[in-house]
Structures are given as C-alpha cells and as structure tokens.
A and B are shown apart, each in its own frame.
Chain A
Amino acid sequence: MNIFLHELKSYRKSFIIWAISMAATAALFLLLYQAISSDIAAFTKVLESVPEALRNALGFLVGSLSTLPGFYSIIFTYLLLCGAIQAMNLGISIVSREVSAKTADFLLTKPVSRAIILNAKLMATLVSLVATNLIFLAVTVPVALSQDPGTNMQLFLMISATLFFVQLMFASLGILVAVVTRKIKSVVAVSLPTVFGFFIVGMLGSVIGDKAVRYLTPFKYFDPAYILANSAYEVSFVVTGAFLIVAAIAMSYLIYVRKDIHTV
C-alpha cells in the first residue's frame, strides 16, 4: 500500500495535466458543433470534396457528421493519440524510473517481493488512467449535453470508453518495454516513436482498407463507424486487445521478478 500511494502521489500532477488538456481539446471541438450543425449540408459538401483516401486516413466519417457522436469521433482519433502517449509514458516511466533515477537499490532491498512492487506500480498506473478518464468525462459529457441535449449518450460514452481501452494497451506495452530494457534514458524518446508508428500504420491501414492490418495497431481496434452503426464493439478486436494486455503484463511479471539490477 505504501508503494502504491507513493507512486500515485508522484504521478498525480502529470495525469491531472494530461486529463485537463485532453478534456479542453475535446470541449473546444464540441463547442463548434452547434455552429456547424446549422450548416451541416455545406460542411458535408466540403468534406466530400476531400479525396476519399485522405478522408479515410484522417478518420472523417462524412455520413455520420449530422449527429454529435459522429462529429465527436473526428477529433477523437487525435485524442486517442494523445491518450496513448500519456499511457505509454506512464507505463514506461513507472517501471523504469527506479533504474534511471537510480533508486532501485533503495526500493528493491526493502522487505517486499518484486511481484508486490510491480503490483503496486500496476495498480497506480490503472488508478491514474481511470482518474484521467473520469476527469475527461466530467468535462466532455456536460459540454456535449449543452451542445445537443438529445445527444445519444450511449454512443457518446462508448466512443469515450475506447480511450481507456487504448490507454490500457499502450500502458501495458510501456511496462513490458521498460521491464525488458536494461535502462531507458529518455521516456519520450521511446514512447513517441512507438505511438506515432502505430498511429501511422493505422492511417495507412485505413487507406488500404484491409481488415487484417487493423489487428496490427491498437488505434484501429475500435472503429467509430462500426460503433456508430451498431452501438457495439467488434468482439474479435476486444478479445485480441484483452489478450495482448494480459500477455504483456504476465510477461512483465515473469521478467521483472528475475531481472538483474545493475549498478549505475
């Protein structure tokens, strides 16, 4: 419990800043909805003039622009990108900082097993991400309702929840990367290329339109067009995502308990 609280305290400021920044971006975009919805026909026309391949790559769903969740899904692609960076930073940093800040000699010689240390760090990561998403929703839901009181809340929340799923995937990936590597000098030097790499693969995949490519990048596990049309997630992707998270965490435990902690 003491490790958990210590970790949570040291990441509190960071996740609050991330949550508020992402919520503010979403809110600003949502505030445009009323202005645009009155001219939705003209707006749709403008979008239609964009080549289809580019539209797909950028995630514009022309057909569903007339509803608030559909409109929201455009900006949400990019919020996912931010959220993924936050989650991966957190995952890498929470494990690797004992090595990079050279505090491993302190923490790992205390009378606690490595598994308990990793438990505490995982819980702190999870709680940070849950808190991020709660702050995010606390801002975006009232803004959405103010723009359109008749907003389909189920769809709005389903789209919002994908942020949490994607974050879980990137956080577990970050933890695994941190556990496997001997020492990470700069967290963003690892997280940014990784996250952008997956994002670009996702964009390219949308242009090709190949379903198999979607399995390669967490960004495409939740297709807004599918969610908007069916009010459901695609089971095969949810299962794959959950499996990847469990596998990454399980591997992290196996490696972390046996890892040699070297002097600096």
Chain B
Amino acid sequence: MNIIEIRNLTKYYGKARGIVDVSFDVGAGEVFGFIGPNGAGKSTTIRTLLSLIRPTSGSAAIFGKDCITHAPEIAKDIGYLPSEVFYYDKMKVIDLLRYSASFYKKDCSKRIKELAERMDLDLKRRIDDLSFGNKKKVGIVQCLLHEPRLIILDEPTSGLDPLMQQTFFDLLREENRKGSTILLSSHVLIEVQRICSRVAIIKDGRIIRTEKMSELTENNYKKIRIETGRITDDSRFDLPGVSHLERKDALLSFFFKGNINLIMKRISEVEISNVWIEEPTLEEVFLHYYQKGEERA
C-alpha cells in the first residue's frame, strides 16, 4: 500500500513556478528522500501535502485520502517538522508540547518525557530563551509525540549539532522499525544517503528522477582534481569512465566512475604537486543526471 501518492501536482504562485507535474509514490514503511537544491520546490510539495497551500492542478493523497479535502483527518497520523521551527515565544516548552498533544486524542505525557530525555531538552524553559538548536529539539519532540504513522521532515538537521543529528537519526530509524513511513527533504546528499532507501530528485520544480538509494550510490562518481607542475599531455586521462575533463592552467579536473585503481595508476604516472579526490556535490550529481537525460532524448 502506498502511504503517499502524488499525481501531476502543479503549483504556480501567480506566474512564478512552484512545482510542475510532480508525481511520485511513497510506500508503507519506506524512508523516502526528497532531494534538490534550495528553491527547487521541495517545500512547496511538502506544504501541499500538508494542505498549507492548495495545488494549481493535480492531486496528492495520503493514506489513500485526498490531502486537501481530508486534511484534518490525515493530520491525526502525521508528524511534521519544518525547516525553521517557530512557537509561541511566551510559552514554556512543556506547555507548548501539552498544547500540541491536546490536538491528538491520546495521552502523550509519557512519550514527551521520554523524547525530551533522549534529546536532552529542558522542558521548563521558555521558548524565547531557547537557542535555535534547542527550538529544533522542541520541534522534533512535537513532531514525534503522538507516534505518527507518517513523519514528514523538511530540511530537518539544520541547527542540530552532529551528536544530536545522530540521536535524531537513531530516533527516526526506531520509528521506522516500528512501522512509520518517513519523507525527508534535504539539499545535502550525505544526509539522505545516511537514512533513505529511495529518493526523488527535484530540480527547477520538476522531478528529474526517482530511484533506489543503492542505484544512486552505485553511480559512485569521484570528483578528481590534480595540480601538475607543468602542463602535460591530458589525453592520457581520457579513459572510459572519465567525464568533464577540464584544464585551467595547472589544474586538471574531471569526474571518474569505475575502478579507482585504474585512475590512481594513471595519476601516479604524472608529476603532480597536489591532488583532491572528493564526493561530487549535489549540483554536480544533477549535472550528471541532466546529461543522461539529454543522451536518452
């Protein structure tokens, strides 16, 4: 059964593009990554799912029910963590969490305590005394306190220190094991790689591709740059698996996919003064997908 079904979802803000023709499904129990650069339409898609905005055309369903017409009913089983969290400044953390819990018809007090302990959150402080990171923790507790069947996270890790990110991801994995489905949006590839089983890639409002995480990481591209003392014959690097070969003065850069030993040998044949081997950035991964798309067309 699919938990989320999005069909040709389109949203224009006046004439400005939000998203165009977005379609994808998220199955029960999946941890689904939604990845794209800032402004690509991740938040627009998520906000439509939550019925915060209305689509221009197309539809989205959660738990088999339409997102707009059945919004309140669906919301019972959703936990949502926005990228920036804001709460009523003058409230105490515990009062805010109780207020949040009062919307769900179950007793969440034990769960609030548990989560707050895990996240190391002081429940007695006032919201406006909290740092950005601590507010985020309130958001996380608020998102999970009613044990939702679907957890929607929009750029969740900003503001959390690496240790807390770890705790948070552990929490998410536990929830997932208990049966919750997770939709996580991010512009950081590594974040998605850590936890997701499948991803949709969005750029300029359109889904470029939906695929399994394993397939995405199989395309294990390396970004390689070498600085050579003097300009050499670059054609020796023109191997199968090498792309985007470019030289800028003493700096030679290219992407490589394939047996890493092969390329290392080739590099060792040249007199080099420096070398960088890096994971490609998200933009560079997109570049790759764009080209693939063009080749097919």
Binding site for B on A (CB under 8 A): 2, 6, 10, 101-106, 108-113, 116, 258, 260-264
With an 8 A cutoff between CB atoms, is B50 at the interface? yes
Bound-state Cα–Cα, A106 to B85, Å: 8
A-B interface, 10 closest residue pairs, ranked by CB to CB distance from nearest: A102-B86, A111-B75, A260-B53, A110-B103, A111-B76, A2-B102, A261-B52, A105-B82, A113-B72, A109-B80
Partner of B88, one of A10, A116, A262: A10
| Closest-CB distance, B17 to chain A (whole angstroms) | 15
Say whether, besides A109-B52, A260-B53, A261-B52, A101 and B104 are in contact (CB < 8 Å).
no
Select which of A2, A6, A103, A105 is within 8 A of B52 by beta carbon. Answer: A105
Q: CA A113 – CA B68 in complex, angstroms?
A: 10
Contacts of B71 in A (CB 8 A): 113
Taking A2-B99, A2-B103 as contacts, is the C-beta distance between A109 and B88 under 8 angstroms? no
State whether the Cβ of B185 lies closer than 8 Å to any Cβ in chain A: no
Q: Is the CB of B54 within 8 A of A103?
A: no
Interface of B: prevailing SS: loop
A101→B104 CA distance, assembly (Å): 23
CA distance A260 to B47 in the complex (A): 9
Shortest distance in angstroms between B270's beta carbon and chain A's nearest beta carbon? Answer: 49
Give CA–CA (A10, B91) in the complex, Å. 10
With A104-B52, A111-B104 given, can you name 14 additional A-B contacts, CB distance below 8 Å? A103-B87, A105-B80, A106-B85, A106-B87, A109-B50, A110-B75, A110-B100, A111-B75, A111-B103, A112-B72, A112-B103, A260-B13, A261-B47, A263-B43
In Å, the complex CA distance between A261 and B50 comes to 10
Of residues 82 through 139 on chain B, the ones whose CB sits less than 8 Å from some CB of chain A are 82, 84-90, 99-100, 102-104
Query: How far apart are A89's CB and chain B's nearest CB, in angstroms?
Result: 17
A6 contacts which chain B residues (CB < 8 A)? 99
- Interfacial chain A residues near B43, Cβ < 8 Å: 263
Closest to A117 in B: B72
With A111-B103, A260-B54 as given contacts, are A106 and B72 in contact (CB-CB < 8 Å)? Answer: no
Taking CB as reference atom, which chain A residue is nearest B76? A111
Listed A/B pairs (22) with beta-carbon separation below 8 Å: A10-B88, A10-B90, A103-B87, A104-B52, A109-B50, A109-B78, A109-B80, A110-B75, A111-B73, A111-B75, A111-B104, A112-B72, A113-B71, A258-B54, A260-B53, A260-B54, A261-B47, A261-B52, A262-B53, A263-B43, A263-B47, A263-B82
Number of A-B contacts (CB under 8 A): 62
Q: Contacts of B13 on A, CB cut-off 8 Å?
A: 260
CB B195 to nearest CB in A, in angstroms, measures: 22
**Number of B residues contacting the other chain (C-beta, 8 Å)?**
29
Q: Is the CB of A108 within 8 A of B52?
A: yes
Within 8 A of A (CB), among B52-69: 52-54
Question: Once bound together, how far apart are the Cα atoms of A249 and B104, in whole Å?
Answer: 28
Interface of chain A: mostly helix, strand, loop or mixed: loop
Query: What is the minimal beta-carbon distance from A28 to any residue of chain B, in angstroms?
Result: 32
Cα-based distance from A106 to B145 in the complex (angstroms): 14
Residue pair A101, B52 in contact (C-beta under 8 Å): no
Q: B residues within 8 A CB of A264?
A: 84, 86
Min CB–CB distance B103 → chain A (angstroms): 4
Expressed in whole angstroms, the Cα–Cα distance for A72 and B104 within the complex equals: 51
Chain B residues with Cβ under 8 A from A263's Cβ?
A: 43, 47, 82
- Inter-chain contacts of A258 with B (CB < 8 A): 54
Distance in angstroms between the alpha carbons of A260 and B18 in the assembled complex = 13
List the B residue with the shortest CB-CB distance to A113. B72
Q: How far is the CA of A230 from the CA of B76 in the complex (A)?
A: 56
Q: Looking at B43, B73, B102, which has the most chain A CB atoms within 10 Å of its CB?
A: B102
Complexed CA–CA distance, A104 and B52 (Å)? 9
Assess the B142–A106 pair: CB atoms within 8 A.
yes
**Which residues of chain A are within 8 angstroms of B89 by Cβ–Cβ distance?**
101
- Do the beta carbons of B72 and A111 come within 8 Å of each other? yes
Say how far B98's CB is from chain A's closest CB, in angstroms: 9
Shortest C-beta distance, B64 to chain A (Å), equals 17
